[in-house]
Chains A and B, each alone.
Chain A
């Protein structure tokens, strides 16, 4: 089976200006969504209490809420989690001196008044300081990853390619984070891990196209750089689509069958892979082209004879 029997001749690079606009809209839209909706950050980052409980029958969320209110917890979120029997209770960070253990027990008691068979499946109590540190660590990790990749690409290719790759790479997490801001899905530690994996994946894709550009430049001495980039993208297109499809199969299975705990992770990767497909074709190559990549950037350096300045 083959989807593209012949190498297509799509003029990708001609459309790159339009794509810059689209990308700018996506990034700004994502930032706006984060500003307006905000990210639904998990307790991993905000600190606080999360309790997952399983009722023997269908959980009555209103009664649960009322029971927790009367137990002294005014600022409490209660929602279904996975099935109608499972509830997720979330509280803001504990006040200083409040014991995590005592709070857990009080909540368990409150839930038992609603359903005597209620079982706690998971409790997580995270101090606000721990969460703040995780945010800093997460951002640092992203910055370091991007920086190291820039250095690697600049070393393996040329700095113009490095800049293109990094811009494409930065573009992708924005798309993922934007989707989480709009959908209101919980952004937890595993989603952060997925976002970092997307960064790695994005680079992976860009490198495949760049690798082909590097290979084609010496062969297409008479062609313009734009033609070289177009040909490289076209020649790798079949592989790009098949690989993306193969990875998507796995990630969609993760989203659909992995349970509540892996749903966010799956979604982040699905969105990430779609974003990567687009950005590795348009953003990375487009930027490298517009920075003026030319034959001399990628040709094997000619050995120059030592210049004799002496009279």
Chain B
């Protein structure tokens, strides 16, 4: 008798059932779809949210195959691309600018599969088409900006404290401040320290040397990158692309992935927008509505719009602008959501003066975005800088403050949003594109078709060979290989990993290498049979003796997979994930699965004359 412990067999069966469920959504494939999100930041809610669009499309005889609401977005799936594009144009034409409409792919899985939260593997850019951009942030420029700002603030601080200086000179990595009267060195030092306590000050004779430590330089560089990630993230969100991602890559790069998007020049233009912001006082005397109608705001004021479209009059003088903002974070102030803001010294001084004179009056934050648009002018394309100005927040001045203050009276969500916008609007370090890849949708489909074709042909040939060589045991090996692919697919779907073309190659390689474990076991069983052992003893010995070779061999391949993962980027990472996860699923299925199936068919019988191996 050679029965495999029941609990192990059950464990294998259980895991495989679970894997089948998880892998199931991948069977249905995907179809072109539209994804609608509202541009005003509100979410679509409830099953009925899609109905107005369905009615509208029905009038033009366009019927989606399916529609549902997911994460506040309406998703509509269509039979083919022309229908999808027609629907997009219809919706856009009916309410221009109201919705961000993304063309994408949605799973064809039936509603109940979606309802229990099962999702297929997402496809990488090389399989579905899209744009991949890598931006490099000029981090040295960010540090230089910091030093320039510091230099300006130092001059101001010394003047204010009436300490006469010989020179304030910025150089590489630091600022040298030489004062006229060496006896005032201590006073000068404390004045400079007040500007930014984080900067290291070293005194020698009449000179103070301000330097940024390694950690401070790194902090500033990180802030610059974080700022750019926030800004890019905001703009990517505004595009409404599903499954878009903005990720830091290495020390100073940001990778942006936009699946399904095809118009590179449009996207790069939108992402390349620069933003800044201004703090201004609200004008409470004039009538904003009247000014909007006549188009003539009262003297000394400027007409703006709030985010909800309401007009508002602001004073012409700018209190503080974006380049003076050094930090903005969303926090809690006495249990209430708030945005904490830090300004540089000059900005702080202006803010102090303004708040002292205008206590109790409202102040507004204006968000200004500039983008370069190509316009047709008499047949010639001309680049025009378009500026969009918007009041993102107004708040009452409740106290006198200078370079550190909070904006309160917001909901938690609003606070986070405002902090994000402020950061995005602060003067960010310059970015430039160092890598740009655009994959057309037809190429993506080609890659899927060819990859799957190779996988099917390769597997079919391999299965035929295994059956011819090992007869019934070969069939067992084939079954185990199928289990392996199902489990691998389930794991990848569960992790939300994106399948890429190298990923498909990785699945194939896993299949090609996984069969080795079965071959090792079967060859061992044959050897044992040749030595004259009984079939039951041969099976037992075959598994036991093959184990160390299988374990060692797979572990070393796993090392290669993990290193690939750590050093790889983009599609290579996808390959590494598949290879590494594939080794783990191979160990599980080849050892446990093979044993379970063989135990099931040959283990029960008391005596076997012949093993079909």
B451 touches A258 (CB 8 A): yes
Closest CB-CB distance, A254 to chain B, in whole Å?
Answer: 5
Contact with A along B76-112 (1 / 0, CB 8 A): 0000000000000000000000000000000000000
A196 touches B564 (CB 8 A): yes
Closest CB-CB distance, A241 to chain B, in whole Å?
Answer: 10
Contact with A along B448-473 (1 / 0, CB 8 A): 00110111011101100110111100
Residues of B within 8 A of A123 (CB): 264, 436-438
Among A99, A194, A197, the most chain B Cβ lie within 10 Å of the Cβ of A197
> Do A192 and B572 contact each other (CB < 8 Å), given the known contacts A122-B438, A127-B435, A261-B126?
yes
Among B502, B520, B559, B571, the most chain A Cβ lie within 10 Å of the Cβ of B559
How far is it, in angstroms, between the C-alpha of A99 and the C-alpha of B372 when the chains are bound? 14
Q: Which of B461, B505, B520 contacts A265 (CB 8 A)?
A: B505
> Do A122 and B437 contact each other (CB < 8 Å), given the known contacts A2-B526, A250-B512, A269-B509?
yes
A85 at interface, CB cutoff 8 A: no
Contact with B along A227-265 (1 / 0, CB 8 A): 000000001101100110111111111101111011001
Number of interface residues, chain A, beta carbon within 8 A = 76
Contact with B along A122-137 (1 / 0, CB 8 A): 1111110110011001
Q: Which of B264, B451, B557 contacts A259 (CB 8 A)?
A: B451
A152 touches B440 (CB 8 A): no
> Do A212 and B549 contact each other (CB < 8 Å), given the known contacts A245-B465, A251-B509?
yes
A243 touches B515 (CB 8 A): yes
Interface stretch of the complex, out of A9-17, A24-32, A63-71, A100-108: A100-108
Residues of A within 8 A of B561 (CB): 200
B519 touches A243 (CB 8 A): yes
How far is it, in angstroms, between the C-alpha of A306 and the C-alpha of B567 when the chains are bound? 49
> Do A197 and B509 contact each other (CB < 8 Å), given the known contacts A121-B442, A190-B575, A249-B458?
yes
How far is it, in angstroms, between the C-alpha of A144 and the C-alpha of B563 when the chains are bound? 7
A208 touches B440 (CB 8 A): no
B511 at interface, CB cutoff 8 A: yes
Q: Report the interface size class on chain B.
A: 35 or more
B446 at interface, CB cutoff 8 A: yes
Residues of A within 8 A of B265 (CB): 101, 105
B171 at interface, CB cutoff 8 A: no
Q: Which of A138, A203, A242, A250 contacts B509 (CB 8 A)?
A: A250
How far is it, in angstroms, between the C-alpha of A236 and the C-alpha of B443 when the chains are bound? 44
Which A residues, 133 to 155, have Cβ-Cβ distances below 8 Å to chain B?
133-134, 137-138, 140-141, 144-145, 148-149, 152-153
Residues of A within 8 A of B509 (CB): 197, 247, 250-251, 269
B556 touches A152 (CB 8 A): yes
Residues of B within 8 A of A256 (CB): 454
How far is it, in angstroms, between the C-alpha of A122 and the C-alpha of B451 when the chains are bound? 17
Residues of B within 8 A of A138 (CB): 567
A114 at interface, CB cutoff 8 A: no
Residues of A within 8 A of B527 (CB): 235
> Do A189 and B557 contact each other (CB < 8 Å), given the known contacts A126-B435, A250-B508?
no
B61 at interface, CB cutoff 8 A: no
Among B126, B462, B523, B563, the most chain A Cβ lie within 10 Å of the Cβ of B563
B447 touches A193 (CB 8 A): no
Residues of A within 8 A of B440 (CB): 119-122
Closest CB-CB distance, A91 to chain B, in whole Å?
Answer: 13
A152 touches B555 (CB 8 A): yes
Closest CB-CB distance, B95 to chain A, in whole Å?
Answer: 30
Q: Which of A124, A199, A245, A269 contacts B560 (CB 8 A)?
A: A199
Residues of B within 8 A of A208 (CB): 520, 549, 552-553
Closest to A262 in B: B505
B113 at interface, CB cutoff 8 A: no
A290 at interface, CB cutoff 8 A: no
A278 at interface, CB cutoff 8 A: no
Q: Which of B442, B523, B557 contacts A200 (CB 8 A)?
A: B557
Residues of A within 8 A of B513 (CB): 201, 204, 247
A254 touches B557 (CB 8 A): no
Residues of A within 8 A of B349 (CB): none
How far is it, in angstroms, between the C-alpha of A54 and the C-alpha of B571 when the chains are bound? 23
Among all A-B residue pairs, the 7 with the closest Cβ atoms: A200-B560, A253-B458, A259-B450, A250-B512, A127-B434, A141-B567, A200-B557
Given contacts A189-B571, A246-B519, 15 further A-B contacts (CB under 8 A): A1-B470, A101-B436, A133-B250, A141-B568, A144-B563, A152-B556, A190-B505, A197-B560, A197-B575, A239-B523, A242-B519, A246-B466, A254-B505, A259-B451, A261-B126
A-B contact pairs, 22 of them (CB 8 A): A2-B526, A99-B433, A104-B438, A120-B438, A122-B440, A123-B438, A125-B435, A127-B434, A137-B567, A138-B567, A141-B563, A141-B566, A141-B568, A190-B572, A196-B564, A200-B579, A201-B513, A208-B553, A250-B458, A251-B512, A258-B454, A262-B451
